[in-house]
Every structure is written in structure tokens, then in C-alpha cells.
Structure 1
Amino acid sequence: MNINLRFFASVREALGTPGETVALPDGVATVGAVRDFLIARGGAWADALAHDRALRMAFDHVMCAPETPVKEGGEVAFFPPVTGG
């Protein structure tokens, strides 16, 4: 399954890319599993997407939980929490 990835703010800066298209291996079927798949790349990926970091996730422009299923051609986005003033 192919999905689009988008990275925002400090996540984008840490990874050096605003996004990419990836082919997911079998068994990677949720947003949380996508995060784990990317963490397994190691290096900056493991640091930027680590589970101890406060990150928000969205699937197809809707905030979601790690258990949210992904679909062919969908978009998974990762970004830090945002505050305003």
C-alpha cells in the first residue's frame, strides 16, 4: 500500500523534508504502525518521531489516534502540538 507522508514544523526541520510517498510493508495498517515503521529507520527518524515526544497525528486531514487505519493513497501527517496566544 502506498501512502503520502507530511511533516510539519519541528518534525519537518528535524527530518529535512516536508514529506514523501512510501510503500508500506505488509502489517503496517494503522497510523501508529506507520510511526513505528518510520522510527525503525533510525537516526533522525527515531529521534523526531520517538514515542516519548508529544506529537499530533492526522489521517487525511483529520486528527486521529494511533489505532486509526490507513488506506491506499491516504495521507498521514505528523506535527508537534501547537499553542497560540
Structure 2
Amino acid sequence: MPRKEANQTRFNHKKKCISWTIEWRFHSTDVVLLDHGVHEDTSLCLLIKNHLQPSPWNHSIRRFCEVQLDCLKFFYSKIP
């Protein structure tokens, strides 16, 4: 899906806040997860913790699930 179509980031004029779309990519995997409507004050650790809960569906990112959250490294890319 093209990035522009997947992006649902919006500015709420009434509340004066941003609801972000976050795309999670896991190093050395082809896994891409999306979170839509994330309030600008939401902790990223809280969001990623939800994706790293043990489940039969996340076998391709299991090595990330087994690492302590504070040992993970996050990188972001700025897209022009």
C-alpha cells in the first residue's frame, strides 16, 4: 500500500492535537505494523509493548518479544 494512502495522521483543530499514524518496521524482518490514531502524548513504549506480547501471530518477531523493553533500540526516519 502506498505510504500516502496508509498515513492517517491528522491535526484536530478543536483539541489542538495530532493523531499520528506510526509504522513499525523490525530490523532484518519483513514485518510492518501500523498504529493509527495515536494521540501525541502516548508513550511509544506503551504502544510497542502491545505488539510484543506473546502470541501465535508474531512468530517472525519473536526475538524482539524475548528482549527486555529497555534493551530495544528504536530508530526513526524522516521522510521528505
Instruction: Please give the TM-score of this superposition, normalised by the length of structure 2.
Output: 0.41
Q: Which has the higher helix share?
A: 2
Larger radius of gyration: 2
Instruction: Please give the TM-score of this superposition, normalised by the length of structure 1.
Output: 0.39
| Structure number with higher relative contact order (C-alpha < 8 Å, ≥ 6 residues apart) | 1
